[in-house]
Amino acid sequence: MRIGVLGLQGDFREHLEMLRALGVDARDVRTKEQLHEVEGLIIPGGESTTMAYLLEKMGLLSILRERGAQGFPIYGTCAGMILLARELNDSYPENRLALMDISVKRNAYGRQRDSFEADLHIKDIGEFHAVFIRAPKIVGVGPSVEILAEHDGAPVLVRQKHLLASSFHPELTGDPRVHKYFLEMVTRG
Ligand code: GLN
User: Using one digit for the tens of pLDDT, what is the confidence trace for 109-139?
Assistant: 877 667 899 999 999 999 999 999 999 999 9
Active site residue 169: yes
Rg (CA), the chain: 15
pLDDT at position 9 is: 97
Average pLDDT over residues 92-117: 89
* Segment 29-74, tens digit of pLDDT: 999 999 999 999 999 999 999 999 999 999 999 999 999 999 999 9
Active site residue 78: yes
* Angstrom distances, CA of residue 115 to CA of 18, 71, 133, 144, 154: 21, 33, 4, 29, 16
What whole-number percentage of the chain has pLDDT above 90? 93
167 alpha carbon to ligand 1 midpoint, in Å?
9
Q: Is the CB of 177 under 6 A from ligand 1?
A: no
Give the domain 2-188 fold.
Rossmann fold (3.40.50)
pLDDT at position 169 is: 97
> What are the two backbone dihedrals, phi and then psi, of residue 104, each rounded to the nearest 5 degrees?
-130, 140
What whole-number percentage of the chain has pLDDT above 70? 98
pLDDT at position 113 is: 64
120 alpha carbon to ligand 1 midpoint, in Å?
20
Q: Is the CB of 48 under 6 A from ligand 1?
A: yes
Domain boundaries, the chain: 2-188
Q: Is the CB of 76 under 6 A from ligand 1?
A: no
Q: Is the CB of 95 under 6 A from ligand 1?
A: no
pTM of the full predicted structure? 0.97
pLDDT at position 189 is: 80
Active site residue 179: no
Point out which residues pair with 25 in neighbouring strands.
2
Distance CA 44, CA 47 (A): 9
